[in-house]
Amino acid sequence: MRKAGIQGLYRRRRHGCTVRDLQAEPYHDLVDRDFVVDGPDEIWCTDVERHEALLNRVEVGDLHRRVVAAAR
């Protein structure tokens, strides 16, 4: 191939992404960015990660106890 001056074709996959609706009203912030809690089960948070090997990791945590429940 090098002698002939040709090379293989590399096609990149297009990854879709979320397109924001500019006309939509943003959802109200339920905790007003105040993450200080007085007791358990008041505020829960989540974190979702996607890795290159298509492995997904989801964490759900209670902000009072700082307990994290991880699932794959």
pLDDT in tens, 8-59: 887 777 777 778 888 988 888 877 877 778 888 888 888 777 776 667 777 7
The torsion defined by the Cα of 23, 27, 28 and 34, in degrees rounded to 10, comes to -130
Taking the C-alpha atoms of residue 12 and residue 23, their distance in angstroms, rounded to an integer, is 32
68 against 22, higher pLDDT: 22
Task: Give me the sheet containing 67-71, strands edge to edge.
Answer: 44-50, 56-62, 67-71
The three-point CA angle 17-18-23 to 5° equals 145
Q: Is 19 helix (H, G, I), strand (E, B) or coil?
A: coil
> What is the structure's pLDDT at 70?
58
Contact 68, 59 (CB under 8 A): yes
